[in-house]
Chains A and B, each alone.
Chain A
């Protein structure tokens, strides 16, 4: 579990902002990767690799920036129970991804619906931890 270092709230806020700045820079890089594999009409493997690079970059950068500027973050591999808890939400996210492709009317809601699914997943896991 995360043990936030003690200190002033302002320090934490500045840390969060620094984390955000790092992630925006990473966002530019990952977007550049995504656009490059798109405009060059790369094959499916290159597309998958490009997306994987952008996702892995996001994960590494987030872990690093959070540890560096906000506080320690424990990493552990997900257990079967974790996966069982998150599976319904992951299914919602993947279903939304599919609906976004095949149902034009759904498209304006895609980004917010999947974000909502992720937030609900986190809130549910918080509730489970408190019980």
Chain B
């Protein structure tokens, strides 16, 4: 993109607008210092949900699954992973294709035994695939249980209970895969 005031290189990486005087890049929600490769202020969404929409609120600082210091440093650009992530607004980094894994989902999950909530920037790995598969199986089982319930309600209710137990068991087995494991 060209800027029409004679400055042909005003628009920089990730569409940041460069201010030659201050040597900072304007990233809408904060300034990025291209000299030191850091933002001047912290990630606005990291500590509060007020600046962000519900779906993209970042509570990742509170996530026990945090692994990399680069990802907990709120001044870095996209957790030092610019190949896979972008942050055009200086608000919260995000993966290029929306969700952060090739299947279109995020890491994490609920469950009693493997409670691990919150959005995570973690790359898609076997644990995430495992939890995804547990969820898919669980949803299918519940759909079957509703059919059983149509024929025989008590059997359907027991079926739902068993499906819940199996889902928790499945999550527990997935939790045995160490956090952050990659293929």
Contacts and interface: CB of A to CB of B under 8 A. Distances in A.
B138 A114 contact: yes
A73 B158 CA distance: 13
Contacts of A66: 155, 158
Given A90-B143, A102-B105, A41 B152 contact: no
Nearest to A66: B155
Contacts of B172: 31
Contact of B166 (A23, A89, A125): A23
A121 B151 contact: no
A43 to B, nearest CB: 12
A28 interface: yes
Nearest to A16: B158
Contact of B137 (A51, A103, A112, A122): A51
A32 interface: yes
Interface residues of B, number: 66
Given A37-B133, A51-B137, A73-B155, A82 B147 contact: yes
A86 B163 CA distance: 18
B169 A31 contact: yes
Interface in B150-183: 150-160, 162-170, 172-174, 177, 183
Residue in A97, A104, A114, A123 with the greatest tally of chain B CB atoms within 10 Å: A104
A27 B104 contact: no
A34 B137 contact: yes
A86 B144 CA distance: 10
Interface residues of A, number: 66
B113 to A, nearest CB: 11
Given A38-B174, A105-B57, A114-B142, A24 B99 contact: no
Contacts of B135: 97, 100, 110
A110 B141 CA distance: 14
B146 to A, nearest CB: 4
Residue in A54, A78, A82 with the greatest tally of chain B CB atoms within 10 Å: A54
A68 to B, nearest CB: 13
B106 A27 contact: no
Interface of B: 54-55, 57, 59, 98-99, 103-106, 108-111, 115, 117-120, 126-127, 129-130, 132-160, 162-170, 172-174, 177, 183
7 nearest A-B pairs in the assembled complex, by CB-CB distance: A122-B149, A104-B119, A101-B105, A38-B130, A27-B166, A2-B152, A38-B129
Interface of A: 1-2, 16, 19-20, 23-24, 26-28, 30-32, 34-35, 37-39, 41, 47, 50-51, 54-55, 58-59, 62, 66, 70, 73-76, 78, 82, 85-86, 89-90, 93-94, 96-97, 100-105, 107-112, 114-115, 117-119, 121-123, 125-126, 129
